[in-house]
Structure 1
């Protein structure tokens, strides 16, 4: 693996973490604003994170 490939792989990994972070932040804000939708927010969060991990979705 060359240095360029290692840098590209590192950039892809950090983009993947930012997707998870954004989803978690939005879910947390929704739960704070609307506490009654906790079950739906948790379910949607788990489905979204599962799809991101299974299909290796990346930004950029």
Structure 2
């Protein structure tokens, strides 16, 4: 996953109704947070686990 990728939140974690199906743009390189690879997303506060995201083609 890299900066500029378009992603949606998948069902690996609970996703709020407002974020289901919403396309986000990755705005950081992945980093390790306590053993979980995370990224920052545009229009989302805080990091989000990479395994909870699916790339949009």
Q: Which category describes the TM-score, using the shorter chain as reference length?
A: under 0.3
What TM-score does the superposition give when structure 1 sets the normalisation length? 0.23
Greater RCO (Cα-Cα under 8 Å, separation 6 or more): 1
Greater strand share, 1 or 2? 2
What TM-score does the superposition give when structure 2 sets the normalisation length? 0.24
Greater helix share, 1 or 2? 1
**Bigger Rg over Cα:** 1
